[in-house]
Amino acid sequence: MEILDPCTGTGTYVTELIEYLPADKLEHKYKHEIHCNEMAILPYYIANLNIEFTYAQKMGNYEEFKNICLVDTLDHCGFGGKQFDLFAMSVQNTARIQSQNDKKISVIIGNPPYNAHQENFNQRNANRSYQGIDKAIKDSYIKEGTAQNQIVVYDMYTRFFRWASDRLGEKGLIAFITNRSFIDSKTFDGFRKCLDREFDFVYIVDTQSDVRNNPKISGTKNNVFGIQAGIAVMFLVRNRKEKK
């Protein structure tokens, strides 16, 4: 079972995974079946150090982690045709990306970025264009939506949901922590409809911690990330052999 964190940051979820896995299974997973990506250079190096340190602490020996890529997942980690128009990267990093693209990923986990702190979606030009993913969103979430203005559906976290849904294949699991705006916003009706159609089971844990929409709570103490935006945990399960 291949596991991927497409936006790993400093490697928090991968290190937790290493802590969780039994020692007798960990070595094989670590070397062959745990993958992660990060596009910013500093978090990438920190993640690499954190992952290798956690493994060494648990297993008693150092082992280089060769499955972390310095890459923008939405641009270069494709599916189907496998997008591969890479900017200047090391030969080793390029080989890692190619190897990951050839894998059959069964589990995708993480905390994708989202526009949590922006009242106006266009403020500070938050999102750049991702041609492939944005077309996939237009042909699915936007097409199925009924709201007049659906620009917020191009939020970064919905882009990662679209990417992960297409990357997963016929059987697997997506587990993301994201903004909770998709739960009850009319703008996301197309997004919800597509998830219902594309997955066999959908589990949502709503922390109900949106400070701006709930005057009864205040500050950032109601949210595990210490922010005012509400968050949710969603598990999407696809098993095409089972009756939906």
The answer to whether 100 touches 35, Cβ cutoff 8 Å, is: yes
119 vs 136, higher pLDDT = 136
Domain boundaries, the chain: 2-109, 133-239
**pLDDT above 90 as % of the chain:** 68
DSSP H helical ranges for 33-127: 41-59, 73-76, 91-101
Confidence (pTM)? 0.86
Give the range among 41-45, 134-138, 205-209, 215-219 with minimum mean pLDDT. Answer: 215-219
110/174 Cα distance (integer angstroms)? 9
**Rounded to 5 degrees, what are φ and ψ at 109?**
-125, 165
Query: In what order do the strands lie in the sheet containing 171-179?
Result: 68-70, 34-38, 2-5, 105-110, 171-179, 231-239, 201-206
Instruction: State the pLDDT at residue 126.
Output: 53
Instruction: State the pLDDT at residue 75.
Output: 87
The answer to whether 115 touches 127, Cβ cutoff 8 Å, is: yes
3-state secondary structure 159-185: HHHHHHHHHCCCEEEEEEEEECCCCCC
The answer to whether 140 touches 194, Cβ cutoff 8 Å, is: yes
Instruction: State the pLDDT at residue 208.
Output: 75
Q: Over 80: is that where the pLDDT of 217 sits?
A: no
Residue 188: name the closest of 139, 152, 236 by CA. Answer: 152
Using one digit for the tens of pLDDT, what is the confidence trace for 72-91? 999 877 654 444 444 445 78
Task: Tell me what the pLDDT averaged over the chain comes to.
Answer: 86
Using one digit for the tens of pLDDT, what is the confidence trace for 135-150? 999 999 999 999 989 9
What mean pLDDT comes out for the span 138-165?
95
